[in-house]
Amino acid sequence: MGAGPAWVNTRAHFGLGRTKAGGKSRLAPAVRLRPVAPHIKRSVAFLVERKPPLDLIVSTDRGLYCAAGDFHIDPWRPVPRAIITHAHSDHARFGSEVYVCHRDTAPILRKRLGDVTIEPASYGEILTRNGVELSFHPAGHVLGSAQVRVALKGETWVASGDYKLESDGVSPAFEPLRCHAFITESTFGLPIYRWRPQAELFGAIDLWRRENIATGCASLLFAYALGKAQRVLANVDPALGPIVCHGAIEAINALYREAGVVLPPTRLATDPRTASRGENKRDFSRALILAPPSAALSPWLKRFGDYSDALASGWMQVRGNRRRRGLDRGFALSDHADWPGLIAAIEATGAERILVTHGYTETLTRYLREKGLDARALTTAYGDDEDAGDGAPAPEGEA
């Protein structure tokens, strides 16, 4: 890992050579996926030109590494240059010298990692080092999430990070990229995981809220603080009652609003405007209360009186997971691709070489090999986040 030549048009710290790519990869395909992702189209057939494979990205003890460009992607140990797909803590860790990410991810990284050096870039903007071209493209996971496209000498690799195909109205929709090798997650890489359309899920959440209002109890919904909570806020009916957020969620809400994402009004539980006063305590019976899963059974919940609780997570697809947690309801809402989504995304790349990270790697790689693809698992340290341990293979990512 020598220092190597400087980036073209050297900038401070990371020294990034930048040229515009019109926001699109030159290999961007036209592909049609399943109806849940109508913004993506499918070509009749696409085969990447066969050539001797070039190991542009390999897994090391520090993270995914591109030796030609001398940078790591989502490293799990400190490195000189960290290319970050998104700001969830299993993909963006403290200690690296320089972080390079999409510009909407930068404020979230600063919030989570503190005073670190960050080089932001736009979607489609090409950064060049040692002849290696690197660019970020929408992953549809959370605000600022990106696939990382790496190209050298006619060889193109894409590292997906975490992604989903259904457009959520909050983060830019997933953009399929043609490539020779595709590094994909497999968090929900089992055929049992098939998501209902987003509109149906939020209709079910609003119905649950109405039922709770009729019985005089609050609606407490656990959702991951970054991404899931804001997706919920943007899609539920704000007219049903006040929306109260845990401090960890409200801090991220502020960053989303600064990025131009429209969210309904929210309040902290300590805000005196939050609820009307009963005889001795506040009445939250009409409120939707959003909290991270870590707040379950904490003293913070005691202020709300009677409530019905639920979790928004892909793991709720398996009913036993809800029962083990002792929840009243579970909504299978995930910011990861389900089984059909994983297969559709992989097919859209046209790649014949597939490297599978965190999740049900064995199941997905076996299926892909049966389809004639060169597929194998990569060992990574991703997935140790949110509600990973309950109902998920180990390790797993935020759901």
**Per-residue pLDDT band at 273 (split at 50, 70, 90):** low
pLDDT digits (tens, 9 = 90+) for 51-106: 556 789 999 999 999 999 999 999 999 999 999 999 999 999 999 999 999 999 99
**pLDDT on residue 8:** 43
What's the pLDDT score for residue 52? 57
Q: What percent of the chain has pLDDT over 70?
A: 80
28 compared with 357, residue with greater pLDDT? 357
Using CA atoms, how far residue 185 sits from 39, 161, 166, in Å, is: 21, 7, 16
| pLDDT one-digit tens code per residue, 204-253 | 999 999 999 999 999 999 999 999 999 999 999 999 999 999 999 999 99
332 close to 317: Cβ distance less than 8 angstroms: yes
Burial class (CB in 10 A: 0-12, 13-18, 19+), 8: middle
157 pLDDT higher than 90: yes
For residue 17, the model assigns a pLDDT of 47
In the chain, CATH 3.40.50 sits at 198-331
For residue 24, pLDDT over 90 is answered with: no
The pLDDT, as a whole number, for residue 50 is 52
**Tokens for 68?**
């030609």
Each residue's pLDDT tens digit, 362-386 = 999 999 999 999 999 988 888 755 4
Q: What is the pLDDT of residue 177?
A: 98
Model confidence band, residue 325 (pLDDT cutoffs 50, 70, 90): confident
Among residues 125, 53, 124, 118, the alpha carbon closest in space to that of 92 is found at 118
Does the bond joining 52 to the residue before it have cis omega, within 30 degrees of 0?
no
322 vs 168: which has the higher pLDDT: 168
Q: How far apart are CA 123 and CA 137, in angstroms?
A: 5
Residue with more model confidence, 30 or 104:
104
The residues, ordered by sequence, that sit 6+ positions from 284 with a Cβ below 8 Å of its Cβ are 218, 244, 274, 275, 303, 304, 305, 307
H/E run at residue 209:
helix 198-215
The CATH class for the domain spanning 198-331 reads alpha beta
**Chain-centre distance of CA 291, in angstroms?**
18
Amino acid 323: pLDDT: 79
Above 60 in pLDDT, residue 32?
no
Which residues are CB-contacts of 297 (< 8 A; sequence separation ≥ 6)? none
pLDDT band at 197 (very low <50, low <70, confident <90, very high): very high
Average pLDDT over residues 140-167: 97
- More confident call, 395 vs 170: 170
Q: Bridge-partner residues for 65, per DSSP?
A: 58, 72
Cα-based distances in Å from 26 to 112, 178, 208, 214, 238:
34, 9, 46, 55, 41
For residue 299, pLDDT beyond 60 = yes
Instruction: Assign 320 to helix, strand or coil.
Output: helix
Whole-number Å distance between alpha carbons of 385 and 398: 5
Using the structure block, give the residue that is written with the tokens 């995981």. 193
pLDDT over threshold 90, residue 332? yes
Q: Distance between alpha carbon 381 and the CA centroid of its chain, in Å? A: 16
- If you average pLDDT over every residue of the chain, what do you get? 85
Query: How many CA atoms within 13 Å lie on the side-chain side of 118?
Result: 24
The arithmetic mean of pLDDT across residues 336-353, rounded, is: 97
Most confident of 254-258, 283-287, 394-398: 254-258
pLDDT at 399 over 90: no
3-class secondary structure, 293: helix
Residue 154: half-sphere exposure toward Cβ, Cα within 13 Å: 6
Give the span between the Cα atoms of 334 and 392, in whole angstroms.
Answer: 13
- What is the amino acid identity at position 273? R
Opening angle at CA 180, ends 73 and 57, nearest 5: 25
CB 104 within 8 A of CB 123: no
Q: Where in the chain is the domain with CATH 3.60.15.10?
A: 17-193+335-377
Given CATH 3.60.15.10, say whether it is the number of domain 17-193+335-377. Answer: yes
Share of residues in the chain with pLDDT > 90 (%): 72
